[in-house]
Amino acid sequence: MKKLTLKTTAYRFLEQSFAEWLDILGYAPSTVQAFPIHVREFLHYLETHNHTHINQIDIPIIKTYYRHLSQRANQRLGGGLSNNYLNQHLSAIEKLLDYLRKQGRILLPPTGIPLESPNPQPITPLTTGQIKQLYQATTTYEDQYPELASRDRALLAVYYDCGLRRNEGVNLNHTDIHFDNRLLHVRQAKGGKSRLVPFSRTTGKYLEHYRYDARPQLLNPNKTHEEAFFISRRGDRANGNTLNTRLKYMQKHTDCPILQQKPLHLHLLRHSIATHLLYQGMTIEKVSQFLGHQSLESTQVYTHLVDRSFSEG
């Protein structure tokens, strides 16, 4: 509801000062942008019901508004508003009350409205063609940043070809990759169980080029004994946010608008390889072992996607 306008001067000021307060407190940019928009819709509702003073805000009117919101149609997609959207709205109002309490404007308790059950996030794996495009994207900046391009290909090799979880890749050491028998040793796996992950010759080529050619160039001269496989530009172990940012950098450098608009993150690479292996005929038991799942139930989430072709992208 970005197009709504507030007529009440006090409400317009409240929306602006609330956004500034969120920003000063260091909330994420997405929150600083979204919460005031949700609050604007709430204040607009108050205006349309002749509540034009901040001190008229109370718990009953908030609950009435929330009932209205839960019944409102999704103006962009049709149908009702998602539970996730309703929860974000409610969180914005709760945070507004917190702001007003701290400002001494009104002293209302929390609304007491329970959060809705979150909507499950659908898994939409990448196609094999889109994976190829991510690999291809690294060649567009290889001349300028050869070490980073090599590390990016190793990132795809670890998180897609080998299917590691985010923290498993972050905790990976260079000595955990055995090139002679093409096995990657995941020592710090979920649940404390280690596992060996086989990789192909092509994957080994990407890992080996980064390990012996690019990685030494990224190491901090004062930390030459660093064990981490993935090295940041500071010369020490790269964290998950850094690696996730690099994945989005590759995404940006593809020439596929559909791929560029996908909500891409490291774990989606793991989802993608799991789905592709099942599609190619690997048994669910072997896929489960490959992923390091403790039960087949965790792997079965991918089976409903097997009938979809991933050969195009």
Q: Last residue of a domain, which of 86, 103, 120? A: 103
Instruction: Say whether both 146 and 217 belong to one domain.
Output: yes
If one counts the domains in the chain, the total is 2
Rounded Cα distance between 171 and 190, Å, is 12
Q: Which of 51, 166, 270, 276 is catalytic?
A: 270
Q: Which of 12, 182, 190, 195 is catalytic?
A: 190
Rounded Cα distance between 85 and 116, Å, is 10
Residue 266 lies in a domain: yes
Specify whether 153 is catalytic.
no
In DSSP notation, the chain reads -TT-----HHHHHHHHHHHHHHHHTT--HHHHHHHHHHHHHHHHHHHHTT--SGGG--HHHHHHHHHHHHHSB-TTT-SBPPHHHHHHHHHHHHHHHHHHHHHTS--PPP--PPPPPPPPPPP-PPPHHHHHHHHHHGGGSTTT-HHHHHHHHHHHIIIIIS---HHHHHT-BGGGEETTTTEEEE-S-GGG--EEEE--HHHHHHHHHIIIIIHHHHS-GGGTT--BSSB-TTSSB--HHHHHHHHHHHHHTSS-HHHHTS---HHHHHHHHHHHHHHTT--HHHHHHHHT-SSHHHHGGGGGGTTS--S--
Residue 249 lies in a domain: yes
User: Does residue 230 contact residue 237 with C-beta atoms inside 8 Å?
Assistant: yes
Rounded Cα distance between 174 and 233, Å, is 17
Alpha carbon 20 to chain centroid, angstroms: 25
Instruction: Say whether both 171 and 234 belong to one domain.
Output: yes
- pLDDT tens, residue by residue, 181-227: 999 999 877 767 899 999 999 999 999 999 999 999 999 888 778 99
- Which portions of the chain are predicted below pLDDT 70? 1-2, 74-79, 119-122, 191, 304-313
Q: Which of 165, 166, 215, 237 is catalytic?
A: 165
Instruction: Say whether both 98 and 134 belong to one domain.
Output: no
Instruction: Say whether both 65 and 213 belong to one domain.
Output: no
Instruction: Say whether both 91 and 153 belong to one domain.
Output: no
Specify whether 248 is catalytic.
no
Instruction: Say whether both 195 and 288 belong to one domain.
Output: yes
Residue 23 lies in a domain: yes
Question: What is the CATH number for 154?
Answer: 1.10.443.10
Instruction: Say whether both 22 and 86 belong to one domain.
Output: yes
Instruction: Say whether both 141 and 185 belong to one domain.
Output: yes
Query: Which pLDDT does position 33 carry in this prediction?
Result: 87
Residue 222 lies in a domain: yes
Rounded Cα distance between 4 and 81, Å, is 18
Query: Which pLDDT does position 313 carry in this prediction?
Result: 40
Specify whether 293 is catalytic.
yes
Alpha carbon 14 to chain centroid, angstroms: 31
Q: Last residue of a domain, which of 103, 119, 142? A: 103
Instruction: Say whether both 252 and 194 belong to one domain.
Output: yes
Residue 312 lies in a domain: no
Rounded Cα distance between 8 and 56, Å, is 13
Q: Last residue of a domain, which of 69, 103, 137? A: 103
Specify whether 302 is catalytic.
yes
Instruction: Say whether both 236 and 181 belong to one domain.
Output: yes
Query: Which pLDDT does position 109 carry in this prediction?
Result: 87
- pLDDT tens, residue by residue, 86-118: 889 999 999 999 999 999 888 888 899 988 877
Instruction: Say whether both 275 and 162 belong to one domain.
Output: yes
Residue 234 lies in a domain: yes
Rounded Cα distance between 97 and 108, Å, is 7
Residue 204 lies in a domain: yes
Residue 285 belongs to domain spanning: 128-305
User: Does residue 185 contact residue 178 with C-beta atoms inside 8 Å?
Assistant: yes
Spell out the residues 6+ positions from residue 75 whose beta carbon is closer than 8 angstroms to its own. 1
Instruction: Say whether both 73 and 147 belong to one domain.
Output: no
